[in-house]
Amino acid sequence: MLAFNISFRDWNVFKGAGDWVGLANYADIWEDFFKPRSAVRAAFGNTLRYVLFGVPLQLALALSVALLLVRIRQLAGFFRAAYFVPFVTSAVAVAFVWNWLYAPQVGLINQGLKILGLPMQQFLRNPDLALPSITVVAVWRTIGFAIIIFLAGLQQIPDIYYEAAQIDGANRWHMFWRITLPLLNPVIVYLAVLQTIEFLRMFDLVQNMTQGGPLNRTTTVVLEVYNEGFSSYNMGYAAALTVILFGLILAITVFQLRVLSRRVEY
């Protein structure tokens, strides 16, 4: 509510509560959105790209790993903990490690490319590679949580369904599509909503890896909020961006719940 109030004021960090300006901050955002090389337009576009690339990739990889781990008997706890460690590691530490891995000359990934006879890449400096590179890091960092949730969901599916399907001659592929995936629908919806919100709020990795560059190709809405509020000290403008982001999160969440949710009974 405070952000909503500030968004209608000419609020400055040093002056405090300013004059009521109505929709002026929103009008400024609208005007800035259509300017050439607009940072605001880039921020919203990049944020949606993080969601579109990151969420499906994370859910697919997490479910694949969970399906493998649910069959492992030995060292099961070790593997689950290993996948979960990045999730509880600070974003600053994760960014530091991946900055080194992506380093142009001494980075481990580029050294591997060199050994394979492939050209080295400027992963975080190339405008075409920077956003996908950060998306990979974001997926790697949070995939452990999704794996644990998928494992919990898989363990709740009664074995009797699979036994009945085997008697009817169903193979593993049919059982996955007809039993596993439908019964995991509540888990998938929960993770899709949660991870979409997480990617829409993307900030820490971007700030510590590229600061929004190169050429605003990795900047996000939250990073723009930070820059406007604490670099330009334009809190009214930053608060208006926050309100718009909240509306975007709410709209996407409602859409996901309506489209993805379905009741399955056996």
Q: Give the Cα separation of 147 and 13 in Å (integer).
A: 42
Q: How far is CA 247 from CA 4, 27, 195, 204, in A?
A: 11, 16, 17, 21
Domain ranges in the chain? 43-231
Per-state percent for the chain, helix, strand, coil, to nearest 5:
70, 0, 30
pTM of the model: 0.91
Q: What is the rounded distance in angstroms from the CA atom of residue 206 to the CA atom of residue 161?
A: 44
- From residue 158, give the alpha-carbon distance in Å to each of 28, 149, 171, 183, 188: 56, 17, 17, 10, 18
Q: SS3 for 12? A: strand
- Residues for the chain: how many in total? 266
| Residue 161: exposure state from Cβ atoms within 10 A (0-12, 13-18, ≥19) | middle
- Looking at residue 233, its pLDDT comes to 83
Stronger pLDDT, 8 or 19, i.e. the higher one:
8
Residue 264, classified by CB atoms within 10 Å of its CB into exposed (0-12), middle (13-18) or buried (19+), is exposed
Does residue 203 contact residue 212 with C-beta atoms inside 8 Å? no
CATH superfamily of this structure's domain 43-231: MetI-like (1.10.3720.10)
- The whole-angstrom separation of Cα 234 and Cα 41 is 18
Nearest alpha carbon to residue 65 among 175, 142, 147: 147
C-alpha 76: how far from chain center: 27
Tens-place pLDDT, residues 214-249: 999 999 999 999 999 888 888 899 999 999 999 999
In this predicted model, what pLDDT tens digit does every residue of 38-93 receive, in sequence order? 999 999 999 999 999 999 999 999 999 999 988 887 777 788 888 889 999 999 99
d(CA 257, CA 154): 21
Give the pLDDT confidence score for residue 99 in this predicted structure. 96
